[in-house]
Amino acid sequence: MKVPKIKIYDEKDKILRTISKTVSFPLDDQTKKLIKDAITFLKASQNEEIAEEYNLRAGMGLAFIQMGIPKRIFVIANQNEDETFEEHIIINPEIISQSEELIYVGEGEGCLSVNRPVEGIVPRHARVTVKYNDINGNEKQIRVREDIAIAFQHEIDHLNGILFIDHIDKKNPYKDKNKMREI
């Protein structure tokens, strides 16, 4: 697998605080190629041998703003237990409903733009329904749950200039842990 060269901006870079712009259709060839490259990059990052060879940190989601492009696009490539990938290309997302139940990642949420260990929990909705456009501009709707719901919320935050660390209570990083379910 050839790993595309992708520059991912670090949390110190102000561009990550930019609110991304709505995307119009049809997409240009450069945007389509970057979507494909981002998915290939994420898949490579989840392969231990490739990740080690290319010095990649594992990631399952990538928002365009993390690559310095303020467009409302993110991709997810999540490796399943059977080694296949669940892929999502999400353009102009909008959360239209969410569960009351809150969950958090037990070992802590991570981000390809945050290159340091972070203590604390990030409250996320266990299920979200998202309205979005597919790569051809068709309006779609998807209901995601558990780890994919967390990934969607994490990436949508990026599009709004928010990092996961913003959700962690600085004085009490494990605040309200008992009111949420760990996954």
CA separation for the pair 82, 166 (Å, rounded): 34
Residues 6+ apart with CB under 8 A from 108: 117, 118, 119, 120, 121
Q: How, if at all, do strands 127-133 and 85-98 pair?
A: antiparallel
Among all residues, which ones are annotated catalytic? Answer: 155
